[in-house]
Amino acid sequence: MRTLSSLLRRKVVTESGRSLGRCHDLRGELTATKLRVTGLCVGHGGWLEHLGIRGHDAHQTIPWSAVIRIEGTKIIIRDDASD
């Protein structure tokens, strides 16, 4: 089992190896019974958003459905999710 905080500061890369930066924050939906992760806030814009310096920028948020696997210190996402 992983904790949400264990995903923070991990490198986010595409399956072909292109680096998108680090995961600085997570997005989620809270239902009556659980919290569901919906996205990763990545890169410089994700860091600024985490600090509250600027608003939500969809180009810096990777949908959780794009995550292929978590491997070592990396979160690997589908190539087409970073466009």
- Identify the CA nearest to 70 among candidates 29, 35, 37, 33: 37
Locate 34 and state its tokens.
């659980």
Other CB atoms within 10 Å distance of the CB of residue 7: 17
The pair of structure tokens assigned to 8 is 């923070």
Q: pTM for the complete prediction?
A: 0.80
pLDDT of residue 56: 56
Q: Which amino acid does the sequence have at 64? A: W
**pLDDT tens, 32-71?**
999 999 999 888 777 666 667 765 554 578 999 999 999 9
Nearest residue to 78 (alpha-carbon basis) of 63, 67, 62: 67
Q: How far is CA 41 from the centre of its chain?
A: 5
How crowded is residue 51: how many other Cβ atoms within 10 Å of its Cβ? 10
